[in-house]
Structure formats: structure tokens, C-alpha cells
């Protein structure tokens, strides 16, 4: 794992497995829109109804640039919101609730499992 893209795809796979492990259904991966890519689109079924969850995954192997979630800056957030809204408009159903999550993965020590932090409703 040495290229940024390889590490990113590895992190997305890990995030998908994590979400499936806590009961989410992965609907789509790496969805391209005119506003940018959506890493994961999942469905969370809850007693009050299902919710579509758009997930931005950030993976880091070093602390040099701070925690992964810090890279989701205002510009990235704006693109993420626009991409999610674009996706929702392609499948209009006014009853569908949705939210934007961020999953931060740090894999700093190969002798330890990666640290996964899930920020629900991270971007409003």
C-alpha cells in the first residue's frame, strides 16, 4: 500500500465492511457525479424507517497531516453535499431520509488494527 489511490480504496473497503458489520447495507461504491465522487452509499434500516447514508471515507497512514477527518474541509463538504443532492434527485422519493457521514481510518502501526472513527451526520 503505497499510492494514495491504493490506500484510499483499501480504506473504502474497510469502511464498507465496518458498516456492514453494524447492520448497514452497502448500496453503491465509488459513485461519480458532476460534483465529485461519493465513496459509499449505504442504507441504514431503523425502526422509524430507512435512511440513505452518503459516506466520505478518509484514510491516513501517518499523523503528518493531522487526523483524516480534518481533510474534509469546507470545499470538500460543499462538493459532498452537491453530489448527494444530485444522487437523490436522480431517484426522487420525498419520503426518503438521508444524511452525510464521514468515516476516518488511521492505520499508523502495522502491528495493530486500523482505528475507525464514524462521524454520523457529520455534514449538515
pLDDT interval class at 16 (50, 70, 90): very high
pLDDT at position 1 over 70: no
- Could you report the per-residue pLDDT of 79-109, keeping only the tens digit for each? 999 999 999 988 777 778 999 999 999 987 7
Contacts of 35 (CB under 8 A, 6+ apart): 79, 82, 83, 86
- What sections of 1-110 are H helices per DSSP? 4-21, 74-90
> What letter does residue 40 receive in the DSSP assignment?
E
pLDDT at 109: 75
Return the higher-pLDDT residue of 105 and 110. Answer: 105
pLDDT at 2: 56
What's the whole-number mean pLDDT along residues 21-50? 95
Return the higher-pLDDT residue of 107 and 34. Answer: 34
Task: Give CA–CA dist 59/15, Å, rounded.
Answer: 10
pLDDT at position 37 over 90: yes
> What letter does residue 6 receive in the DSSP assignment?
H
Return the higher-pLDDT residue of 95 and 122. Answer: 122
The predicted model scores a pTM of: 0.90
* Least trusted range by pLDDT, from 24-28, 32-36, 73-77: 73-77
In the chain, where are the structural domains located? Answer: 4-119
Domain 4-119 has CATH 3.40.1350.10: yes
For residue 121, give Cα distances in angstroms to 4, 7, 52, 103: 26, 24, 11, 11
pLDDT at 71: 80
Amino acid at each position: 500500500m503505497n499510492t494514495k489511490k491504493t490506500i484510499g480504496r483499501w480504506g473504502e473497503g474497510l469502511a464498507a465492511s465496518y458498516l456492514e458489520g453494524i447492520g448497514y447495507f452497502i448500496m453503491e461504491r465509488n459513485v461519480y457525479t458532476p460534483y465529485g465522487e461519493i465513496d459509499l452509499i449505504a442504507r441504514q434500516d431503523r425502526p422509524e424507517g430507512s435512511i440513505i447514508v452518503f459516506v466520505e471515507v478518509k484514510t491516513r497512514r501517518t499523523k503528518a497531516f493531522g487526523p483524516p477527518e480534518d481533510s474534509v474541509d469546507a470545499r470538500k463538504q460543499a462538493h459532498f453535499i452537491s453530489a448527494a443532492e444530485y444522487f437523490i434527485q436522480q431517484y426522487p422519493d420525498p419520503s426518503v431520509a438521508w444524511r452525510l457521514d464521514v468515516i476516518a481510518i488511521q492505520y499508523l502501526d502495522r502491528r495493530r488494527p486500523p482505528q475507525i472513527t464514524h462521524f454520523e451526520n457529520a455534514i449538515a
